[in-house]
Structure 1
Amino acid sequence: MAISTYAGLQTAVADWLERSDLTSRIPDFISLAEAKINRKLRVRLMQARTTLTVDAEYESLPADFRQAESLIFSDAGVTFECRTMPAEALAERSVGVASPARPEFYALIGSQLRVWPTPDKAYSAELTYYQKVPALSDAAPSNWALANYPDVYLYGALAEAGPYLRDTEALAIWSAAFEKALAGVKADQKIEPGKLRSDLSHFGRGHHYNIMSDR
């Protein structure tokens, strides 16, 4: 049977475990596997973009945010990149500098984005980031990960069942299968490094821009 829906995944997990008494637990195994997928994967299909209006030092991050890729501001038709900086370094840099100006750096603090200097006006910005894998549920029976890589979900859920069943042998087997499936996703989603000529104003450098290293 093809594993293409949340219900089908639950049935497959029960079948592979050869257990009919885990109906209430299997959704937990799937949720735990999902949490691990979100921690371990950073692939192309997880990338998303959103537009922000930045007019204060702190702005809320998207609810599905996992990791930032870039923050590009726009001002009167000119775009420019706001560079990332560790929160501690940004805090040190901002000491004694209170004058609002065009933001140059940003840091992540909890569920917020901090920019510095404090904006001197409202700016439009595009945040490119890695988002969480949309959680499976009865109301949301599929997502891109299940549709394209059902083995990741299946082996991940089976691995999470190991501790509950106190089956160390099964845990080792399914954990190894899960890690192999994750590696397969990363290989399948890999973008080969390359050089791209760019004279776009938001890079402002007019040089060869490495799309993988951001340099």
Structure 2
Amino acid sequence: MTIVISTEDSVRFQTLAGLKASISSRLDRDFDDDDLADFIYLAEREMERVLPVAAREVTAPLTISAQTATLPSDFKAVRHITVSSNGTWPLSLSAPSSLCSHTGCPNAYAVVAGQLWFSPVPATAYSGLLVYERKITSLTETAPSNWILQLHPDAYFYGALVQAADFIADSSRIDRYRAMFETVIGQMIDESERYRNSGSPMMPTMIGVV
């Protein structure tokens, strides 16, 4: 006998339309679509402020062939940058005023006006790797999902319910959903710390010492 287990609930939570439907269903109330969008946006803004760095880290390849390079569209902050050419080494963060204009192999970077600036100016093309903290891309009708909704839909759900309960002035539900939302965020932070500290114990390294 074949048993079919429905995944409707999990799939529904991981789309914008499903998230909106779930909010209305949980509160047993029909909300205007613009109001639902506001609840979700306010939850996003709070998550943007409190979510841990490790949960946001992603990598992107870099071709360093000029003094500047364009940052990814979801860029929030640099974690580190490495350059490869007969070996791999990290670039140091530098103040924009300290960047030099002569050419050579880059050893420093700065973020200026939404771009990466390198110093010295690369004399040839180098391969690099950018590890960065990504922003939360807002959910819209044209972008109905993102990495938070895919990995942690309950964070969106409870965060939006806090805003919806406040909208209808239901204080008891505000407290309950706030507690649930903060529990999920706390679990995400714990998961982030386990990820960052997984593997062997960290040992100090001394560069240039054999």
Task: Please report the TM-score for the alignment, with normalisation by the length of structure 2.
Answer: 0.76
Contact 1:34–1:133 (8 Å) recurs in 2: yes
Q: Which amino acid aligns with 1:117?
A: P
- Unaligned runs of 5+ residues in structure 2 are 1-8
Distance in 1 between residues matched to 2:188 and 2:166, nearest whole Å: 25
Name 1:28's counterpart in structure 2.
38
What are the residue-to-residue correspondences of 1:82-97 with 2, within 5 Å?
82-85=91-94, 90-94=95-99, 97=100
Name 2:130's counterpart in structure 1.
127
Contact 1:46–1:132 (8 Å) recurs in 2: yes
CA gap of 1:23–1:93, structure 2 versus 1, over 3 A, is closer
- SS of residue in 1 equivalent to 2:122: coil
Name 1:212's counterpart in structure 2.
none
Count the aligned residue pairs. 196
Name 2:50's counterpart in structure 1.
40
- SS of residue in 1 equivalent to 2:156: helix
2:66 is aligned with 1:61: no
Higher helix share: 2
CA RMSD of aligned residues (A): 3.0
Task: Please report the TM-score for the alignment, with normalisation by the length of structure 1.
Answer: 0.74
Structure 1 position 65, deviation (Å): 0.9
Cα distance per residue 1:160-191 (max 9 Å; x no partner) = 33554455664454334322211111212332
Task: Return 122-131 or 164-173, whichever deviates more.
Answer: 164-173
CA gap of 1:138–1:196, structure 2 versus 1, over 3 A, is farther
Structure 1 position 205, deviation (Å): 4.5
What are the residue-to-residue correspondences of 1:138-177 with 2, within 5 Å?
138-162=141-165, 164-165=167-168, 170-177=173-180
Name 2:88's counterpart in structure 1.
79
Identity %: 29
Cα distance per residue 1:33-92 (max 9 Å; x no partner) = 2233233223545322111222232221100112212111122x322210224xxxx234
2:117 is aligned with 1:114: yes
- SS of residue in 2 equivalent to 1:114: strand
Structure 1 position 206, deviation (Å): 6.5
Name 2:5's counterpart in structure 1.
none
